[in-house]
Every structure is written in C-alpha cells, then in structure tokens.
Homo-oligomer: A and B are copies of this chain.
Amino acid sequence: MSNKEVTIHDIAEILGINSSTVSRALNNSTRVAKKTKDKVFEKAAELGYQRNHLASNLRKSKTFTLGVIVPRISRHFFSSAIAGIEETAFKAGYTVIICQSLESLEREESIINTLLSNRVDGVLVSISMETKNYDHLQGLKQRNIPFVFFDRHCDIANNSKVVIDDFEAAFNAVEHLIAQKSKNIAHFSGPQNLEIYKNRFKGYKAALEKHHILYREELVISSSLMEKDGATNVKKMLALPYKVDGLFCANDVVAISAIQYLKKLHIKIPEDIAIVGFSNESISSVIEPALTTVNQSGLEIGVASTNLLLDKISDKSKQQTHKTILVKTNLIVRKSSLRDSK
C-alpha cells in the first residue's frame, strides 16, 4: 500500500479536480482559488504527499542541485569549505552533491560526467594536481553550465574563481623569513599547472627582489608536494652550493615532512633553517617545532564561491560576467621560523 507513492493525480482524483490545479495549488499559484488551495494542502498533508523532484526537475530542467568537486574531503581546508558551501546552498534551497577526485584526473573526468548526467545547475571545483588537460572543464562550458573554481583553479579563458591571494600570502611569508635574517631562501614549489603554485612562486620571487636578494633558479625545487617529497627535496636542497637558511614551502604537508627529515640530520629549526608552510593544516600546530604557516579560511572561501555560483546561475542572461574574488589570508607565526636569538 505504501509502496505506491502519492502523486498529484491521487490528490486530484480524491478532490474531484484536475491534477494541473493541484500542481498549481501546491506551488501557490495565483491562478488557484484560496478555497481550493486549502483543500489541496490539507489532503496532501493527510496523504503524506512528497513532491517528486525528479519529475519536477525533468519538466523544469532545473535541479536546484550543485556539484562540488574537491581533491579530498577529509582535508581540513576542504571540509571547512564544504561546510560553508553546504550551508550557503541550503539557505538558498539548493542541495549539494559532493565528490572527491582523490587527485586523479580520471576520477575528475568521471565525476564531471556524473554531474552532467545528474543535470546539476552549477559546479564548484577545486581541481586535482593531475589536472593538466582541461577538456572536461571545457565540456561544462560548452554545455553552458555555470561553474566556479575555488582555491585550486586553472587558466581556462573567462572563468570565475574564488581564491586566496596566493601572491600576497607568499610575499608576506617570505618577507617574514627575511625579517628573521634568512639570506638564502629556498622554495619548495608545486605542480606549475596549478595557478596557486605559480602565484606562490611569484610572491616568493617578488619578496626577494624587493629586499635585493638575488633570485637563484636552483633554489626553487618543484615536486607534487606529497609527504614522500619532503626528504627528496631536502636532499636536493642540501646538495646545492649555498648555505640555505630559510625555506618557504608551498604547502604544509611537504613542510612537515621536510622538518622531520631535517631533524633526522640534526639540522636545527629555526636556528639553521627557518621554515614557513602554507595552509595551516591541523598537523602544523602539532609538529615540533610548530610550523609557521599561512592560514586560509576554507569556510569563507566556500561561502564566497557558492554565492558567486548562485549569482551566475540566476543571471543566465549576462552569463558572460567573470569574476575573481580574492580572500585574505594571515600568517600564523610559530616556532619553526622564529629566531629569538640574534
């Protein structure tokens, strides 16, 4: 009995009216008399009617659903961003489908297909490290599905994005290292297909220039910034003919594994090498010495990017607006870079 779901036709039949009137009544249309509406609402409640969004969405070709793609849900930054996204979307009557690429381009492509098939109204995406081919994202564009990058973006023409000011954050981080009397500052950089790493690198370079410190290409060591890269990078760095005394890492993960390896080598932090990371992952405050790092508010980015996306969705007309929102960061100074001696 409860197998068959209650439809507007059931309500219509019972009340002896047409299903179109029931539909309009439930949608509170002005075309339906108050008296009829009351009867419909009462009967709907009585029968436990639940509107079938599938049918409704199919007809309206609008789903009130947003797709979200992140590299990994359990990363603190992303889970905060998702929390902000969900809350903002929920308030606006949207539902959120969350997917994680796990840093795999293949999965990312597959996710986009799934989201397209589910006809989401818009997509929020923070791309994977592997994403050097943008065909799947162009696909979104061709289909005219609004999307907004947050945090990790790429340089597709005419996109909207919400990002932190990577340049400025990196600039400040490196200036801090310079203030701590670092002379030879190395940089562990990330995949250069990601704009965030390009900009962090640019900020690093600009800070050196401002303080008349010679930029040396060899001091920039690129990797995928995973845990395993810490030791490898440090080896490369120590093999250089410069006495590195400052290190700016493009994320916390590599900074922390670098610290661990340096400690094994009995190199003192911050005395020998002052270190700054990026992201303020929760581990960064736990490591000994605690890691100085750039704090970025995932929640704020999530909220801002959702609002931007919702704007784009409702603004179908002037779809051509493309915005970049820069969210401010702050440097959290901890022991890994603080030289009280001198």
Instruction: Tell whether A57 is near chain B: CB-to-CB under 8 Å.
Output: yes
Cβ–Cβ contact A113 & B50, under 8 A: yes
28 contacts between A and B (CB under 8 A): A2-B144, A3-B144, A48-B139, A50-B113, A50-B116, A51-B117, A52-B58, A52-B119, A54-B54, A54-B57, A54-B63, A54-B118, A65-B97, A65-B118, A73-B79, A73-B83, A74-B80, A74-B82, A74-B83, A74-B299, A76-B76, A86-B99, A90-B99, A90-B100, A95-B97, A95-B118, A96-B97, A96-B99
- With both chains docked as a complex, state the minimum distance between the C-beta of A298 and any C-beta of chain B, in angstroms: 8
CB distance from A74 to the nearest CB of B (A): 4
Bound state CA distance, A116 and B50, in angstroms?
7
Q: Are A119 and B54 in contact (CB under 8 A)?
A: yes
Asked if A12 lies at the interface with its beta carbon under 8 angstroms from chain B, I say no
Q: Which partner residue on chain B sits nearest A102 by CB separation?
A: B87
Cα A65 to Cα B2 with chains together (Å): 21
- List chain A positions with a Cβ less than 8 A from chain B: 2-3, 5, 48, 50-55, 57-58, 61, 63, 65, 72-74, 76, 78-80, 82-83, 86-87, 90, 95-100, 102, 107, 113-114, 116-119, 139, 142-144, 282-283, 285-286, 298-299
Residues of chain B contacted by A80 (CB below 8 angstroms): 74
Smallest beta-carbon distance A162→chain B, Å: 18
Q: Separation in Å of the A141 CB from the closest CB of chain B?
A: 10
In the complex, what residues of B have CB within 8 A of residue A83's CB? Answer: 72-74, 100
Count identical subunits in the complex: 2
The minimal Cβ–Cβ distance linking A92 to chain B, given in whole angstroms, is 13
Considering the chains assembled together, what is the distance between the CA atoms of A47 and B107 in angstroms? 23
7 closest residue pairs by CB, A with B:
A79-B79, A282-B282, A74-B83, A73-B83, A54-B58, A53-B117, A98-B98
Which of A61, A95, A102 lies at the interface centre, i.e. has the most chain B CB atoms within 10 A of its CB? A95
Given A116-B50, A118-B95, verify A86-B73 contact (CB < 8 Å).
yes
Name the B residues within 8 Å of A2 (CB-CB). Answer: 142-144
